[in-house]
């Protein structure tokens, strides 16, 4: 498994869309691994922009084509509109996968049309712990679909995923999380005082969040008028 990203760690075109959407938010939020966190990216805001979706489809589609896949697989739920954009950009058929089968109707875990032996690019908005991605890969494999590549908007060069290497899966993300945070700061979306508080969290978040001083500083930043546009509800 190799983690792929641009040499400058940032796709500027996509970063600009994320800045315009105010996609970096102050919480609190609940992460996919159940931990309450004081800030996060809300990549789903970007789907409200048709221009951004088209550009995402184009950029992710370029990567998918390199792997000669014949299927684009969206991960529920954030990956579904992204996969649709990639499918339209590449003219490659799309499906989407659920973590669990529906409890009503046809009780499917995969929606759309596919066949055993298909090769799919798995599309999602972000990768952190990657436990969810592993689950989607298993779902697709159970239905006879292999996954040579996972493509996301964002990821972190600080993380590694042994299970991907074992399965021969490449991970490709368009923006490094820390590089993206710096870009938000450079574009004036995050003030210096807030940037200085959160930047180290993108190294080892679990260490950062155990420091109570960091959390106190975040609460102070949330009360500042300059940061009101960053306040967002949980998800």
Is residue 156 situated within a structural domain? yes
| Structural domains counted in the chain | 1
- Among 84-88, 158-162, 168-172, 177-181, where is mean pLDDT lowest? 158-162
How high is the pLDDT of residue 102? 65
Examine the pLDDT at 233 and tell me if it is beyond 60. Answer: no
User: Which alpha helices (H) appear in the chain, and where do they start and end?
Assistant: 12-20, 50-66, 79-90, 131-142, 162-167, 177-186, 192-198, 205-209, 212-222
Q: Where residue 217 sits, what CATH number does that domain have? A: 3.40.50.2020
Query: 92, 26, 20: which is closest to 50 by C-alpha?
Result: 20
Q: What is the 3-state secondary structure (H, E, C) of 120-162?
A: EEEEEEECCCCHHHHHHHHHHHHCCCEEEEEEEEEECCCCCCH
Is residue 235 situated within a structural domain? no
Is residue 60 situated within a structural domain? yes
Domain that holds residue 135: 3-230
As a whole number, mean pLDDT of residues 50-68 equals: 98
Task: Give 7's pLDDT tier (boundaries 50, 70, 90).
Answer: very low
Examine the pLDDT at 235 and tell me if it is beyond 70. Answer: no
Q: What percent of the chain has pLDDT over 70?
A: 91
Examine the pLDDT at 83 and tell me if it is beyond 80. Answer: yes
């Amino acid at each position: 498994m190799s983690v792929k990203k641009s040499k400058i760690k940032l796709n500027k075109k996509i970063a600009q869309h994320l800045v315009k959407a105010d996609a970096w938010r102050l919480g609190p939020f609940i992460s996919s691994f159940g931990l309450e966190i004081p800030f996060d990216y809300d990549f789903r805001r970007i789907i409200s922009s048709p221009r951004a979706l088209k550009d995402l489809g184009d950029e992710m589609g370029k990567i998918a084509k390199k792997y000669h896949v014949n299927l684009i697989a969206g991960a529920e739920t954030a990956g579904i509109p992204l996969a649709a954009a990639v499918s339209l950009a590449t003219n490659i058929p799309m499906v989407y996968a659920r973590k669990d089968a529906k409890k009503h109707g046809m009780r499917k875990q995969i929606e759309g049309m596919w066949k055993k032996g298909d090769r799919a690019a798995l599309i999602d908005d972000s990768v952190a712990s990657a436990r969810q991605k592993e689950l989607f890969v298993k779902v697709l494999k159970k239905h006879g679909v292999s996954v040579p590549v996972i493509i996301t908007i964002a990821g972190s060069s600080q993380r590694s995923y042994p299970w991907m290497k074992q399965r021969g899966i490449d991970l490709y993300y368009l923006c490094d999380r820390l590089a993206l945070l710096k870009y938000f700061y450079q574009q004036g979306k995050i003030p210096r005082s807030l940037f200085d508080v959160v930047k180290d969290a993108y190294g080892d978040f679990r260490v950062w969040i155990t420091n109570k001083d960091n959390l106190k500083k975040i609460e102070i930043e949330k009360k500042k008028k300059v940061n009101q546009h960053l306040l967002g509800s949980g998800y």
